[in-house]
Amino acid sequence: MPEFLDKRLLFVTGKGGVGKTTVAIALGIRAALEGKRTIVCEVSASENASRMFHQSEVGFREVELANDLWAISIDPEESMREYVLLQLKVKAMRDLLFRSKMFTYLAAATPGLNELVTIGKIWELAQLDRKVKHGRKYDLVIVDAPATGHGISFLETPRTFANIARVGPIHSQGLALEATITDHEHTGAVIVSLPEEMPVNETARLERELSGRIGMAIDRVVMNALYPDRFSPADLKRLDRLRGSGDDEVRAAGRAAASQARRVAAQREQFARLQEMVAAPISTLPFVFRPELDLKAARALAEEIA
């Protein structure tokens, strides 16, 4: 088992479209198979995970997807209600606050508040001693975090609020969240990448920002969707003759082989660039030749993660 699954909190991030959700779920499946009680959190409304699990709606509640594997979609508004209740302890008082115009306006107008309460909820899920009603204890919380640009400001939110507030409850909570995020024993990050020019560039930048500016531990870079290296130069030379065939499909096979070889070569070049550009250890995942990345694909990938 990859050693970083022993941490309590893992943020899975990367450029848009690199397969963050798939990797987050594959990691969750793997950890659950290893006997860790795991929860995968979605932080935006896109519901990628529920789509994959064919759950019509995960929603803002802890749903069991498989043995030891849970999921939640973190809704900022619900997180805020829960947080305020934990602070005030009295439901009537919370409801009074939420009914007041002043509070709703303030909540809507304060920038970054959604991100702050979302991270607060993630923190809460990772507590051993959970204060919310029916809260279960998890060994591992995996977050399907926002893509590159938004991901950095998302993870920076606690510090931003700690700085803005200077003193008081928000200040101390901001500091506590920041301390959790930057605690290398407790929290880690996995950056998902693809063997292409721009994703490799962004992976290097993301590693720099998350580790340098925010101070997080980068446990792994996952190079996703690598093609199998099928044909040697001698093979290709031999296959070249297929392109003169009178059989359409045989000709197509020759063409597909040549294309595949060019893509493998391009991927290899990008993989070498990634190895040069990042400091974290790199794991690889194979390209999945399936029409959609479903649960079966995620299960297969779970076995592959090293």
Partner 1 sequence: MTSIERVIDGRQIVICAGSGGVGKTTTSAAIALGMAARGLKVCVLTIDPAKRLADSLGLDELGNEATRVDPKLLARHGIDAAEGGELWAMMLDAKETFDALVARHAEDAAARDRVLGNRIYQQISGALAGSQEYMAMEKLFELHSEGRFDLLVLDTPPSRNALDFLDAPRRLIQFIEGRSLQIFLRPTGLAARVAGRGASVVLSVLKRIVGFDLLADLSEFFTAFSGMIDGFRDRAHRVNTLLADRRTCFVVVCGPQGQPIDEAVFFHSKLVENEMHFAGVVVNRVRYRLGTRAPRLRDLSTRIEAELGGGGGPLAEEAARNLIEYDVLAQRDARNVARLAKSLGDEHLIRVPYLDTDVHDLAGLAEINRYLFADEETRIGLATGDGG
- Binding positions for partner 1, 98-157, rule CB under 8 A: 100-103, 105-106, 108-112, 114-115, 146-150, 153, 156
Task: State yes or no: residue 286 binds partner 1 (CB under 8 A).
Answer: no
Task: Restricting to residues 19-38, name those near partner 1 by CB under 8 A.
Answer: none
Residue at 296: amino acid letter = K
- Which CB atom, from 112 or from 215, has the smaller least distance to partner 1? 112
**Do 268 and 210 touch, CB atoms closer than 8 A?**
no
Q: Is 235 in the site for partner 1 (CB under 8 A)?
A: yes
Shortest spacing between CB 128 and partner 1, in angstroms: 25
Q: Which stretch, 22-30, 130-138, 257-265, 273-281, contacts partner 1 (CB under 8 A)?
A: 257-265
The distance of closest approach from Cβ of residue 65 to partner 1 in the complex, given in angstroms and rounded to an integer, is 19
For residue 150, count CB atoms less than 10 angstroms from its CB and return exposed for 0-12, middle for 13-18, buried for 19 or more. middle
Asked if 27 contacts 219 with a C-beta cutoff of 8 angstroms, the reply is no
Task: Work out whether 238 is an interface residue with partner 1 (CB under 8 A).
Answer: yes
Helices (H), the chain: 20-33, 48-52, 76-88, 91-99, 101-109, 113-125, 148-165, 168-181, 197-208, 233-239, 248-277, 295-304
Comparing CA positions, the residue from 33, 39, 1 lying closest to residue 299 is: 33
Give the nearest distance from C-beta 12 to partner 1 in angstroms: 14
Instruction: Tell me the per-residue interface mask from 52 to 81 with partner 1, x by CB under 8 A, - otherwise.
Output: ------------------------------
* CB nearer partner 1, residue 269 or residue 304: 269
Helix (H) or strand (E) holding 63: strand 63-66
Nearer to partner 1, 96 or 306 (CB): 96
Contacts of 228 (CB under 8 A, 6+ apart): 264, 286, 287
| Of residues 19 and 28, the one with the C-beta less far from partner 1 | 19
The smaller minimum CB distance to partner 1, of residues 54 and 134, is found at 54
Considering the rule CB under 8 A, would residue 290 count as an interface residue with partner 1? yes
Residue 124 DSSP SS3: helix
The residue within the footprint of partner 1, chosen from 92, 134, 168, 233 (CB under 8 A), is 168
- Residue 192 to residue 223: CA distance in whole angstroms: 6
Identity of the residue, 136 or 263, whose beta carbon is nearer to partner 1 in the bound complex: 263
Joined tokens for residue 191: 């950056």
Q: Which tokens hold the place of 293?
A: 């990345």
Give CA angle at 148 (142, 150), nearest 5°. 90
Q: What residues from 185 to 214 belong to the interface with partner 1 (CB under 8 A)? A: 196-198, 201-202, 205
List 33, 66, 132, 165, residue binding partner 1 (CB under 8 A)? 165
Kindly identify the residues of this chain, within the stretch 2-21, that bind partner 1 according to CB under 8 A.
15-18
